[in-house]
Amino acid sequence: MTMAACDMHYIGGEWIAPVEAGRVVAVISPASETQIGTVIAGGSAEVDKAVAAARRALPAFSSTTPAERAELLGRILALMEDRAEDFAQIITAEMGCPIGFSRSAQVPFGLAHIRAAIEVLGRFEFSRRQGTTMIAREAIGVCALITPWNWPLYQMTAKVAPALSTGCTMVLKPSENSPFSAQLFAQVLDEADLPAGVFNMVTGTGPEVGALLSSHVDVDMVSITGSTRAGVQVAQAAAPTVKRVTQELSGKSPNILLDDADFARVVPLGVASAMRNAGQSCSAPTRMLVPKRRLPEAEALAAAAADTIIVGDPRNDETVMGPLANRSQFEMVQAMIESGIAQGARLLCGGPGRPEGLERGFYTKPTIFSDVSSDMRIAREEIFGPVLCLIPYEDEQDAIRIANDTCYGLGSHVQSADLDRARRVAMQVRAGQVHINYPAWDAHAAFGGYKQSGNGREYGSFGFEEYLETKSVLGYFPS
């Protein structure tokens, strides 16, 4: 196996050739728009085999101790650390992430989920006494894990680590747009000597493999990270078998700049946060809410910050923003930029088309609109690209109202020189995660959304909860 051909599924501890040869999906370099390989498209035969392998492995693996599972995760972590540069290079090639960002964020954050799981295993209570009753937390069973292309390794470890930690067995369906990082991840798990069938991977498309896993009668849980549209489809497919579905979906996160904030600091950081990973993050703070009287100041600072973003070949160390990950995303972002112009938003920088000098590749200009109102498409719909909206507000309550005027509720930010004030505002924002004054990332902080941003939580002990059933055994202890 090479990056040129992801040509086998990983099932029952072995690399398995597809049942039906010739069913492949082309993998396109976002930097050059040329084909760099293929990935096999699985179907019902492979899904059935993988689920059956996971089901066979479940009784023994769910009976292992937390210490045994922590040792297993430790082996995985060591192998991943050894292959960190390989992961970085692959992620850059397959989805266009600048190599510096792959090395500093994409890979380290993925490793952090493994470390966090090991830490939680050391203290998590899988059983406790409640009077004469014993409360047991047991593995939910066979899990289908559906992961996206924008943070490929990070999202795989965010699901696989807690599933392994809690004694579940699983079938991973990675994005067909980023299959090579998944292939390397499966190789690492194979080298870590997991019991056969504990981890399985079937590649292919969401409408086929994802749907088959979601509706499969022997799958006990589905965890998906993706668009709200995809999350709805998974939930509908899963409904007849009444399995658990956890969803981390779309977002349209606000960044509230209160009037006492240090704009020289918070505006450039807000631009960087919105544009990070070319804006391809579901929690990216793409709505910057600014006091009306300070809007001109924010506009000047935001445009200057965007001007420093170096767009170019993701293999170059100096590149800050590479291309968007695929053609469909590029076309969507271009259409949304055109929509902003058509609906009367004021373009501060960027705009339609590729940056000057980049005629090939899915490159997009860092784009900032001002005088955006909440009824515009660019303020309401997830763009998933480097497009930031500056939205003026009248007062603090107006800012909170605008922040919550969305069908989403994944992430949010609040900036203020007064920490108590920031805390008060943060508690009124309807979102699963709020960042005050750009804090450090926390691998143990619960991540997930309100409203149409999903159901359930990931990361740390909160991620464990999604993979566990609760059993009450009355009379277990003597009265």
- 56-70 residue pLDDT tens: 999 999 999 999 999
User: The tokens of 67 are what?
Assistant: 């210490």
Closest by CA to 331, choosing from 33, 26, 25, 24, is 33
pLDDT of 464: 98
pLDDT of 21: 79
Asked if the model's pLDDT at residue 5 lies above 90, the reply is no
Residue 157 and residue 154: Cα distance in Å, rounded? Answer: 5
| Structure letter (DSSP) for residue 241 | G
Catalytic residue among 97, 282, 349, 389: 282
- 174-231 residue pLDDT tens: 999 999 999 999 999 999 999 999 999 999 999 999 999 999 999 999 999 999 999 9
Residue 98 and residue 315: Cα distance in Å, rounded? Answer: 6
Beta strands at 142-146 and 221-225: parallel, antiparallel or unpaired? parallel
Question: pTM higher than 0.85 for the full model?
Answer: yes
Residue 269 and residue 2: Cα distance in Å, rounded? Answer: 39
- Hey, what CATH topology would domain 5-249+453-473 get? Aldehyde Dehydrogenase; Chain A, domain 1 (3.40.605)
Question: How many CB atoms are located within 10 Å of the residue 84 CB?
Answer: 16
Mean predicted confidence (pLDDT) in 374-388: 98
Percentage of the residues of the chain whose pLDDT score is greater than 90: 98
Mean predicted confidence (pLDDT) in 244-267: 98
Asked if the model's pLDDT at residue 410 lies above 80, the reply is yes
Report CA-CA distances (Å) from 184 to 87, 314, 317.
7, 20, 23
Mean predicted confidence (pLDDT) in 389-397: 98
Asked if the model's pLDDT at residue 3 lies above 70, the reply is no
Ranges for all domains in the chain classified under CATH 3.40.605.10 = 5-249+453-473
Q: Is 282 annotated as catalytic? A: yes
Closest by CA to 389, choosing from 369, 366, 404, is 369
Asked if the model's pLDDT at residue 2 lies above 50, the reply is no
Domain 254-442 is classified in which CATH homologous superfamily?
Aldehyde Dehydrogenase; Chain A, domain 2 (3.40.309.10)
- 346-382 core/surface letters (b: 16 or more CB in 10 A; e: else): eebbbbeebbeebeebbbbbbbbbbbbeeebebbbbb
| Structure letter (DSSP) for residue 122 | T
Residue 27 and residue 93: Cα distance in Å, rounded? Answer: 10
Report DSSP letters for 18-52, one per residue: -SSTT-EEEEE-TTT-SEEEEEE---HHHHHHHHH
Q: Who's near 229: CB < 8 A, 6+ residues apart?
A: none
Asked if the model's pLDDT at residue 335 lies above 80, the reply is yes
Report CA-CA distances (Å) from 57 to 11, 72, 196, 469.
11, 15, 7, 18
Name the H helices within 343-418: 377-380, 396-404
- 98-157 residue pLDDT tens: 999 999 999 999 999 999 999 999 999 999 999 999 999 999 999 999 999 999 999 999
- 338-350 residue pLDDT tens: 999 999 999 999 9
Ranges for all domains in the chain classified under CATH 3.40.309.10 = 254-442
Beta strands at 433-436 and 411-415: parallel, antiparallel or unpaired? parallel
pLDDT of 240: 98
pLDDT of 4: 67
Asked if the model's pLDDT at residue 1 lies above 70, the reply is no
Question: Residues in the chain, how many?
Answer: 479
Q: Is 248 annotated as catalytic? A: yes
Residue 201 and residue 146: Cα distance in Å, rounded? Answer: 10
Closest by CA to 247, choosing from 411, 447, 464, 453, is 453
Beta strands at 127-130 and 133-139: parallel, antiparallel or unpaired? antiparallel
Catalytic residue among 248, 458, 465, 466: 248
What is the torsional sign of CA 169, 48, 148, 223?
Answer: negative
Mean predicted confidence (pLDDT) in 279-305: 98
